[in-house]
Structure 1
Amino acid sequence: MDIKLLSRTFAAKGTKLAIRYNTVETLPDAEKTLADVLAAGAEAFLFQADLTDVGNIARLFDETIGRFGAVDIAINTVGKVLKKPFVETTEAEYDSMSEITSKVAYFFIQ
């Protein structure tokens, strides 16, 4: 299930949402998701950050708590998938994928 579908599903139930996006390239999708959840009557805001910087994870939670008072559900959909044959993966690509997928998940749960 992708973040857009999750956001719209939770919005329909009146959930307050922090919608995180990473870069200016992903901003249009985030803005579309925000518009959809606001149209569904939910409260929401956009949060831009690279979550491989652990400080940004803390900032995401701090800002969400500051706006909504608490976090009841947190869903991490951050991950990196290499779209190339497995045998062609370089060590640097693996390290990047591991940092994005594992490190973010670890500190997000923390």
Structure 2
Amino acid sequence: MTFFTTTTERKTAENLFREMCTTIEKVEKKWNAKVIAFTTDASGESQKAQQLLKEKYPFMVTPDCYAHQINLIVGDYFKTKQIEFFDAASKANDLIAWLQSKTVVLGLI
């Protein structure tokens, strides 16, 4: 499969949308596969391109970038007071150890 070199093009939502559509068409034609999802990074241009893609292909799932979502979660974690987190994690470990020792409780769960 040939991919495009876009280093000289403006990075607009419309250009990205065009490349996404071209890629979908090539995958479906060459590999005889139905594309049901397409993800990008979480930039404003990418989100707009995803919106355009969703309008053209209403059945398609267009999630935000998973790596970006994880980055947000990790950032939120480091903003918390780590002592509180470790205290809660220790309590959770104690609870899990207690549950594992109670076969009747596990059976009920």
Q: Given the two structures, how large is their TM-score scaled by the length of structure 2?
A: 0.33
Richer in helix (by share): 2
TM-score normalised by structure 1 residue count: 0.33
Query: Which protein shows a greater Rg?
Result: 2
Higher relative contact order (CA 8 A, sep 6+): 1
Q: Counting strand residues as a fraction of each chain, which structure ranks higher?
A: 1
